[in-house]
Amino acid sequence: MNKVTVIGSINLDTNLRVKRMVKPGETIHAQEHYSAAGGKGANQAVAAARSGCHVNFIGAVGNDAPGREMLALLKQDKINLAGIAVVDQESTGQAFITVDDEGQNAITIYAGANFAFGRQAIASKQALIAGSDFVIAQFETPVEATLAAFEIAHQAGVKTILNPAPAMSQIPADLLQLTDLIVPNETEAATITNVEVVDEASAREAAHKLHDLGVAAVIITIGSHGAFYDYQEQSGLVAAYQVKAVDTTAAGDTFIGAMSSMLKPDFSNFKAAINFANRASSLTVQRYGAQPAIPYLKEIEQVK
């Protein structure tokens, strides 16, 4: 069982289902409204835990009803909450998600407490980080906190995984040099490398540019095409499972969390770990919501 520490966001998601995306200045009716637990960090932690990992979480929520609800849900998945601060001066993060009939989404985020911690909070959790197999982070929390966590991980010989989302065109060079594995989707990869990723050839080109920035291992998820990986002598496209998607929210988060449960710290089983992650994501996209859609290990093992 891998030990994973996630530094990341915790959000209350407000979801709207619509026939199509709204145009500027237009008003449309929603078909359904519901709330669910979310946040890229929390989603990845839940996916890892449900796939069999021991998971620690470092982040923050507000001292409010949504924060208490999010913590209770994370606790149900047996995630170690010792690294989560409850802050009085900020409200719990929120995301407002619109999903159309094609399963595509548009998301607006209010960070709130997700930006209420930094290097000092990370330093106080050094033991959690140093005792992990992997440390995972995204960009819905302060970059300086991620950098501090990756410094601790690097010193302890712990492998780091960066999900560069939401996309940033200028990622700090010192953070990339401390990143062992970067996992962007095709849009994020294009933002970083200026290479439009549409197939295996363009993914390989983008991966080489990411290597040039100092990252040893690359996985680029390409939606329904699957995921391209490139590390030393290992590379290739692992095909996605073809299913009818109803909501792509948390598909990428499921991929990263599930992958971290299977990936060996020496990266020797990339293809098998990616295939497992693709199986998990294929279940998530067939369900609505973020964390409610993330599958458990028994479900993933049944995907053929």
Residue ranges of the binding site for ATP: 185, 221-226, 252-253, 278
d(CA 19, CA 168): 30
Q: Give the residue numbers of the binding site.
A: 11-13, 39-43, 140, 185, 221-226, 247, 249, 252-253, 278, 284, 287, 289
Whole-angstrom Cα distance, residue 178 to residue 49?
Answer: 25
Token pair listed for 152: 């601790």
Choose the catalytic residue: 64, 180, 230, 253.
253
Binding site residues for substrate, as ranges? 11-13, 39-43, 140, 253
Distance CA(121)–CA(127), nearest Å, equals 12
The residues, any chain, with a CB within 8 Å of residue 265's CB and separated by 6 or more, are 2, 133, 134, 159
List residues forming the annotated binding site for K(+): 247, 249, 284, 287, 289
180 among known catalytic residues: no
| List of residues 6+ apart from 233 with CB closer than 8 A | none
Residues in the chain: 304
Vertex 215: Cα angle to 213 and 220 (nearest 5): 100
178 CB-contact burial (10 Å; exposed 0-12 / middle 13-18 / buried 19+): buried
Contacts of 182 (CB under 8 A, 6+ apart): 161, 162, 163, 164, 176, 210, 215, 217, 218, 219
User: Strand pairing partners for 7?
Assistant: 58, 137
DSSP for 237-249, please give it. Answer: EEEPP----S--T
Q: State the Cα–Cα distance between residues 277 and 228, nearest whole angstrom.
A: 12
User: What's the CA gap between 262 and 213, in Å, rounded?
Assistant: 26
Closest CA to 150 of 141, 159, 140: 159
- What are the catalytic residues? 253
